[in-house]
Amino acid sequence: MLSKLTFERKILKNIDYSIILSVLFITLSGLISIGAATLAFSEGNWQRIAFQFIWFIISSAVFIGVILIDYNIIGGYYKILYIISIILLIAVLLFGSVRNNAKAWLGVGPLGIQPSEFAKIATIITLAKVLDDIDNINTFKNLSKIALISLIPMALIQLQPDTGTNLIFAMTILGMIFVAGLDLRFIYWSLIAGITSFIAIWKLNILKEYQKNRILVFLRPEMDKLGAGYNAYLAKIAVGSGKFFGVGLFNSGLTDGKFIPEAHTDFIFCVFAEKFGFIGVILLFLAYLNIILKGINIARTSKDRFGMFLVIGILSMFVFQILQNVGMDIGLMPITGIPLPFMSYGGSSLLTNMISIGLIVNVGMRRQKITF
């Protein structure tokens, strides 16, 4: 066992430190924004910011653990990881606590965890492993296998229900199989199927009333400024009110007035954009882009296909979470409860993201030697 943990010191210099710096920058922005949203600076409510910081320390430790172990060793345990995540998803349905209309939490308070977050990682690892094994994805057998692996956790998540997480799940998997060479016909077909099933879901009342409302309001935000559309409407005002330089961290705005619910979690981007303005948003996006573009490079130069699929899966997850989370604050996407990576308050999410980034760095530092 121990021998597996030892690694060549020289691979340390293969670590992309700019990714780590970007993560640090984003997490720090997140901590400050959480502080603003929970009135830490004006009223001394340091509790949330403190919890998040503790989670950050824990996550950082886990991150170091993740990069120390060769990702192929981690990948070797994919079956166990997958099964554990499924068990946790079942456990949450049985013993979980309800927050915001969804039974998504195990444990209480700041120590509660969201198994669906870990399920994402477990599923990405599993799928990357499966995709690595198969030569041609475009066979019925292979596609069925992928579908089965994906749909089991998704079905369990839908039971919570957490449509938002499933959306990301779907996009992540789509990203992976797209890169794996999925025939574009399938994408067209699934688009058609998707639209059809959306209509069916709508008609069959599978979506909860509030979810329907959110979608309706997204399509016609002027419909109801005091009801479900109110959050979307206020979020947009909050972002816009940041102007170029922001209102400033210690100046009050909409986001610290409880006008926006869950400002420290789902709507954290509002807080940041309001306080730091367009200039802050540019810096934040540069940090995100750095992680993603460097990540794509890592995927391309990965020494094996497993590493590539793993990185692409994680990047898909990040990209669509950013798109969804930021998009809902600026009226481009419907309102869902999806956290913004490294920014939103929440231990499970931060931990998952740090593991994910650990895996990317892991693949990167063990890439093929490029000799010139």
Partner 1 sequence: MDKKEATRVAVFKVIVYIIFITLISRIFYLQVINGEYYRTLAEEKGRKFINEIAPRGEILDRNGQKLATNVQSFNVTYNNVKSKLDNDEINKVLLETIRLIIKNGDEAKINTPTFPIVYNSGSFYFDFGSNDYEINKKREKKFKELYSLNENLDARQTFIELGKKFDILTSYDKNNLNFKYNMTLEEALRLMAFRHMLQESKFSQYRAIYIAKNVAKKTALAIEYYRNQLPGILTEVAPLRKYPNGEVGSAFLGYIGKIGEEEKDYYSSLGYDLSRELVGKQGLEKVLENNKELNISLRGEPGGIEVDVDKFGRIIRETARLDSVPGDTVVTTIDLDLQKVTEKALDETMKNIRTGKIKTDAPYPNATIGAAVVVDVKTGEILALASRPGFDPNWFAEKGSPPKELIDYLWPQNGVYGITPLPTYNYATKGAVSPGSTFKPLVALMGLEEGVITPDTIIYDKGVYDGLPGFNGACWIWNEKHRTHGPVDVAKAIQVSCNYFFFEVAKRLGKEKFYEWANKFGLVSDPKTGESPNTGIEIEESPGEVANPQKIVKSNVDVTLLNIRENLKRKYGIYINKDTAGYKALRNMLISGQYDENLLDSIGILNENAKKYIKYEMEYLHTDANKLYQILNAAIGQGYTDLTPLQMVSYISTLVNGGYRYKLHLVKKVLNPDGTLKYENKPELIQKIDIDSKYIDAIKEGMKKVTEEGGTASSTFRNFPIQTGGKTGSASVDKYLKSKGRAAYGWYVGFAPYDNPQIAVAIVIYNAGHGSYAAPVAKAIYEQYFGLNKSTEIQKSSTFDH
At closest approach, how far in Å is the CB of 271 from partner 1? 12
The total number of residues shown for the chain amounts to 372
Task: Examine residue 319 and tell whether it contacts partner 1 (CB under 8 A).
Answer: yes
At closest approach, how far in Å is the CB of 243 from partner 1? 3
Task: Examine residue 225 and tell whether it contacts partner 1 (CB under 8 A).
Answer: no
Task: Examine residue 242 and tell whether it contacts partner 1 (CB under 8 A).
Answer: yes
| CB-CB contact of 63 with 354 (8 Å) | yes
| CB-CB contact of 218 with 327 (8 Å) | no
Segment contacting partner 1 (CB under 8 A): 57-65, 72-80, 299-307, 351-359?
299-307
Task: Examine residue 249 and tell whether it contacts partner 1 (CB under 8 A).
Answer: no
Segment contacting partner 1 (CB under 8 A): 48-56, 86-94, 96-104, 254-262?
254-262
Task: Examine residue 178 and tell whether it contacts partner 1 (CB under 8 A).
Answer: yes
Residue in 238, 268, 338, 354 binding partner 1, rule: CB under 8 A? 238
Residue 368's Cβ-count burial label (10 Å; 0-12, 13-18, 19+) is exposed
Task: Examine residue 287 and tell whether it contacts partner 1 (CB under 8 A).
Answer: no
Q: Whose CA is closest to 311, among 133, 78, 127?
A: 127
Residue in 4, 79, 208, 300 binding partner 1, rule: CB under 8 A? 300
With vertex at residue 65, the alpha carbon angle to CA 70 and CA 319, rounded to the nearest 5 degrees, is 80
| CB-CB contact of 314 with 295 (8 Å) | yes
Task: Examine residue 237 and tell whether it contacts partner 1 (CB under 8 A).
Answer: yes
Task: Examine residue 334 and tell whether it contacts partner 1 (CB under 8 A).
Answer: no
**Is the CB of 171 or the CB of 201 nearer to partner 1?**
171
At closest approach, how far in Å is the CB of 275 from partner 1? 12
Enumerate long-range contacts of 57-65, CB under 8 Å, 24 or more apart: 58/347, 58/351, 59/347, 59/350, 59/351, 59/353, 59/354, 59/355, 60/354, 62/351, 62/354, 62/355, 62/358, 63/354, 63/355, 63/357, 63/358, 64/358, 65/358
At closest approach, how far in Å is the CB of 31 from partner 1? 21
Rounded to whole angstroms, how far apart are CA atoms 265 and 246?
20
Using CB under 8 A, list all residues that contact partner 1.
39, 42, 175, 178-181, 234, 236-244, 247, 252-254, 256-259, 273-274, 277-278, 281-282, 285, 288-289, 292-293, 296, 299-300, 302, 305, 308, 312, 315-316, 319, 322-323, 326-327, 330-332
